[in-house]
Chain A
Amino acid sequence: MPLLESRNLTHYFDGLCAVSDFNLDVEPGEIVGIIGPNGAGKTTVFNLFTGVYRATGGSVLFDGSEIVGRTPSEITSLGIARTFQNIRLFKELSVLDNVRVAHYAQVRYNAIEALLQIGRYRAEEKRVTDRAMDLLAAFRLEDHAEEPAGNLPYGMQRRLEMARALATGPRLLLLDEPAAGMNPNEIVQLMDLIQWIRKSFGLTILLIEHQMRLVMGICERLKVLDFGATIAEGLPRDIQNHPKVLEAYLGEEVSP
C-alpha cells in the first residue's frame, strides 16, 4: 500500500487554479522529486499535504487515512514533517529548543504536572532533552546547542531545519528546495545527507528542487508540474528529454 496517496487534489486561490488534479502515489522508502518552473504550484502541493491550506477538492490519504481537513499539527503528529523553502527556524530560541519544540506531541505530561513540576515532568524533560541532543549530534550541531538558532551560519540553519523536522518523528519527510543557495560542493554533501537520513531514520522522502544535479542524483521518480497541472512523470532520465518538460522550461521549439 502506498504511504501517501493523492487523488485529484485541486486547489483554487479565489479564481486562480494553483493545483489541478494532482495524483501521486508514494511508496514507503521512496525518494520522489517534484520539479517545475517557478509558480508551477509545487509549494502549494506541500502546503496542501501538511494542512496549511485546505484543498478545494480531491483527497489525500496518508497511511490509508484521509488528511484533507485536518490541522497542520494533527497531520504532523500522524507522521508528515517538512522543511521550508525560505528557512523558518525559531530564530530567537536556542538550537536545542528548536528541536525540543518539535517533540511537542511526544511529551507525556499534562499542564498541571508542568505548572507544578510534579509527576512525569522531570523524567520527560530529561528524555526529550537527551533525544534532542542526540539528534543534534547526528547533524553535528551539538556544540551550538545553546546558541540562538538565528546566529548559525546558513548551512547549519538548513541542517537544523532538517533535524527539527525529524524530531517530530515523521515517516514521510517533505523537503522544500533543500539545496537553495548552496554551491555545487555543498549540494554533493546534501545528497549524501539526504541518503543517510532516509536510511538511518527509515524515511520516505518527497522533495521539491530546482537543482537538476540533486534531483537527477537521488530521486527515483519525478513528477513535473507546470501551471498547476502535471505535465510529465517517470524516471529521471526519461524526464530529462521529455518534450513537454523542455517546453515548460525552455519554451516551444521554433520550426525552421
Chain B
Amino acid sequence: MSTVLKSAGRGWREITGNRAFMPSLIVAGFVFSFAAAQFELLDPYVQLILMYVGINIILASSLNLINGYMGEFSVGHAGFMAVGAYTASILTVSVFPGGATFLLFPLAVLAGGLVSALVGLVVAVPSFKTRGDYLAIVTLAFNMIIKSLIENLEAVGGPRGFLGMEKLTTLPWVFFWTVLSVWIIRNLVYSNFGRGVLSIREDEIASDLMSVNTRHVKLIAFVVSSFFAGIAGALFAHLLQYINPRMFDILKSTDILIMVYLGGIGSIAGSIIGATIFTVLLEILRPMGLWRMVLMPLLLVILMIFRPRGIMGLREFRWFVPLHDFLAVRLWRRKKEAADASS
C-alpha cells in the first residue's frame, strides 16, 4: 500500500514539476471555461459563482501584494475597485459605439485598470513617509473619499448608482484576467522588485541600506495592486450590470482583507484558496440568512487564534514558484561540482 502511495507521489511530483504542467493546465482551464459558457455545460448559477471566485482571486492576490508581501496595512482596496468599475462602465455605456461594446470590452477593462493604477500612484506617495497604523488610516480615508466623490457626481447617478451595462463579463474573460493577474503578480514577487517588496516587510531601514530604492519599490507595488483591483472592479460591474457607491465601501474592503488573511499572507496560493473558500462558503451559507454574517467573522477569529498567518501563511505551492527560480540553487551546485571535478 505504502509503495503504491509513494510511487503515486513520485508520479504526481513528476507531473507537477514538468515545465509544461502549468501552461497546459491553463489552456485546459480556458477551453473548459469557454465550453462551459458556450454550450452550457455548467448551470448558470454555478458559472456565476465561479466568476465571483475569479474576481475575488484577483482582488485578494492584488491586496496580498501590499498587505502580505510588503507588510503594509491597506484597508481601502474597494476604493480602487470602484475606480475601475466606474471607468469601465462609463466607457461601455456612454463612450463606445453601441454595436462594438462586445469587441471593445477588453479595452474598457484595461482602461479601468489603468485609471485605478493612476490613483494608486497618488496613494503610494503617503506610504513613503507613513507606515503601519497611519498608512492604514490614509487608505481608509481614501476609500471614503472615493465613495463620497461618486455619491456626489450626478453624471454617474450619484447615490442612485449607475446602470445600462451589458452583461459582458463571461466565464472565459474572468478566467483570462484571473490567470493574467495571478501570473503578473507572481512574476513581480519573484523578481528584483519583489525581493525589494519582501525586504521592506522584513526591515525597511535595512532594506534601504542594502541599496533597495524603497520608494520605487513601493510605487511599483501600489500601482500593480491598484491596477488589478481596477480590473476586478470592471469585471464586477459588467457582471452585475449595476453599480452604486455603497458596493465599494469599507465593508467590501473588509471582505477582501478577510480573504487575504484567511488564505494566508505573502502567498499566491493563499490568495486563491482564501478567495475561493470565502466566496463558496458565503454561497453555501446563504440559507442561514443574516447569521452567515456572524459565522464568517467568527471563523476568522478562530483562524487567527490557531493559525495567525492564515492557511498558507508565507508558504507557496511549488508550481507557483517559477521553475528557473526553484532550480536556481540546484543548477549552481551542479555547475560547481562539475567545476570541482574537472580541476
Contact = CB atoms under 8 A, between A and B. Distances in A.
A102 interface: yes
Interface string A201-225: 0000000000000000000000000
Nearest to A88: B206
A230 interface: no
A109 B188 CA distance: 12
A138 interface: no
A105 interface: yes
B211 A115 contact: no
A91 B203 CA distance: 9
Contact of B220 (A76, A111, A124, A142): A111
B202 A121 contact: no
A77 to B, nearest CB: 5
Contact of A114 (B192, B205, B213, B336): B192
B307 interface: no
B218 to A, nearest CB: 12
B312 interface: no
A231 interface: no
B206 A111 contact: no
Contacts of A84: 206
Given A126-B328, A133-B332, A100 B195 contact: yes
A1 interface: no
A50 B209 CA distance: 7
B214 A73 contact: yes
Contact of B195 (A101, A109, A117): A101
Interface string B260-286: 000000000000000000000000000
B209 A72 contact: yes
B47 interface: no
Contact of A90 (B192, B203, B224, B314): B203
A52 B314 CA distance: 29
Contacts of B213: 73, 104-105
A104 B203 contact: no
B193 interface: yes
B14 interface: no
A90 B332 CA distance: 23
Nearest to B217: A104
A134 to B, nearest CB: 8
A100 B206 CA distance: 14
B210 A101 contact: yes
Given A52-B205, A90-B198, A93-B199, A164 B332 contact: no
Chain B's interface size range is 35 or more
Contact of B322 (A93, A109, A117, A168): A117
Contact of A76 (B191, B201, B211, B224): B211
A104 B211 contact: yes
Contacts of A81: 209-210
Interface in A86-126: 88-93, 96-97, 100-107, 109, 111, 114-117, 121-122, 124-126
B183 to A, nearest CB: 9
B187 A82 contact: no
A44 interface: no
Interface in A171-228: none
Given A107-B192, A125-B325, A133-B332, A76 B210 contact: yes
B329 interface: yes
B324 A122 contact: yes
B192 A103 contact: yes
A114 to B, nearest CB: 4
Contact of B211 (A96, A130, A168): A168
A104 B217 CA distance: 10
Interface in B183-241: 184, 187-188, 191-196, 198-199, 201-203, 205-214, 220, 224
18 contacts: A71-B208, A73-B211, A77-B211, A81-B209, A81-B210, A90-B203, A96-B328, A97-B198, A104-B195, A109-B191, A115-B224, A116-B187, A125-B325, A125-B328, A128-B192, A129-B332, A145-B329, A168-B210
